[in-house]
Amino acid sequence: MEDKIKLHLTAAEMSTLWTQYLSDTLAVCVSSHYLEKVEDEEVRPVIEFTLDVAKGNVSIVEELFKKEGFPVPLGFTDKDVKPNAPKLFSDTFVLMFYRNMSILAMAASSAALGLVTRPDLVDFFKRVLKTAVDLQDLTRDLMLNQGTYIKPPYISIPDKVDFVKRDHFLAGFFGHRRPITSIEITHVFLNIQTNMIGKALIIGYAQTAQDKEVKQFLQKGIQLAQQHADLFSDILKKEDLPAPMSWDSAVSDSTKTVFSDKLIMFNVSTMIAAGIGNYGMAMAASPRRDIGLKYAALIPEISLYAEAGAKIMIKNGWMEEPPQADDRDVLIKN
């Protein structure tokens, strides 16, 4: 029987490993700065854990690539970070950033586990998933203990099981609108929170970016994040529900370079991609027409913003190409 570990990598396995490598090399750079500047000794172990996990993942994936004769991506290196630069974000924001990162890592590793087949890769992505869950637990527990964890709104427990009786349940523009459902609340709350985290992160990046075009791109991102957060907050306020707070005050006044513009653009691009995915899920889970159509209207806007970012990265030679299928037309012509 053929040894399954010696099987060639599938396209899905290439893409998940390639993406994981870039994400973890970025995490190493970011965490090295956070660790150098952390002041809260309760936060330090969380950063150390994240840094150790990211370095371990990088080593594992790099070894896998070498065994397969797969060119190791450049990713991000010491050239993309200045650990000793002035502190850019508060320790509380760093915790929130890691919590959000763990949510993205859980989603990505779960998706990878549904796609990979080689036993060694299954084991690897199980490791990634477990460490992402561990990071979520560490950040949640510490934020709860420190009183900085922001919970979604509370609503009353239903009196009984009931079923939708009229298609008025879907209405949202005319006449009386039904109250927002717990599922819709969950997605609206999440999208406010991610926009507020993204806005604070981009503010810090905009203060320290070097390229003028990158700065302009980031300033546009700050505006979009605030507009989207305000739109979603209005939905909750109209239902007499609280909206998550802003994190703008968590950014220092430093303008000294911390991260390379390449790293900044990649990090923001991944956040935009995650945001598009969140909006898509929220739209599918929001049967009230006015809410669903808000997501539908915002997706093209954020997609165009993502395209603008990609053009900047391509122009500056910052976008690494993922593995691609063979171009048969070119091969035949040659």
pLDDT tens-digit map of 308-318: 999 999 999 99
Q: Give residue 173's pLDDT band: very low, low, confident or very high (50, 70, 90).
A: low
Q: How far apart are CA 138 and CA 119, in angstroms?
A: 29
Strand partners, 89: 251
Structure pTM? Answer: 0.91
- The pLDDT, as a whole number, for residue 5 is 47
Least confident of 36-40, 154-158, 243-247: 243-247
Residue showing tokens 């090399």: 25
- The pLDDT, as a whole number, for residue 175 is 61
Least confident of 66-80, 161-175, 270-284, 303-317: 161-175
Q: What is the mean pLDDT of residues 2-9?
A: 64
Q: How far apart are CA 218 and CA 265, in angstroms?
A: 9
Q: Give residue 8's pLDDT band: very low, low, confident or very high (50, 70, 90).
A: confident
Please state the domain extents for the chain.
Answer: 9-146, 177-315
- The pLDDT, as a whole number, for residue 172 is 59
pLDDT (tens digit per residue) in 256-291: 999 999 999 999 999 999 999 999 999 999 998 889
Length of the chain: 334
Residues 6+ positions from 187 with CB-CB distance below 8 Å: 278, 281, 282, 285, 286
Identity of the residue numbered 30? V
Q: Give residue 1's pLDDT band: very low, low, confident or very high (50, 70, 90).
A: very low
9-146 and 177-315: same fold?
yes
Q: What is the mean pLDDT of residues 176-187?
A: 90
DSSP secondary-structure letter at 259?
B
First to last CA, the chain: 38
Q: Domain 9-146 belongs to what topology?
A: Ferritin (1.20.1260)
Examine the pLDDT at 2 and tell me if it is beyond 70.
Answer: no
**Options 3.30.565.10, 3.40.50.150, 3.30.360.10, 1.20.1260.10; which CATH number does 177-315 get?**
1.20.1260.10
Residue showing tokens 């450049």: 74
Q: Can you spell out the DSSP letters for 64-122?
A: HHHHHTPPPP----GGGB-TTSPP-B-HHHHHHHHHHHHHHHHHHHHHHHTT--SHHHH
CA–CA distances in Å: residue 262 to residues 85, 212, 251? 17, 13, 20
Between 18 and 150, the more confident residue is 18
| Mean pLDDT score across all residues of the chain | 92
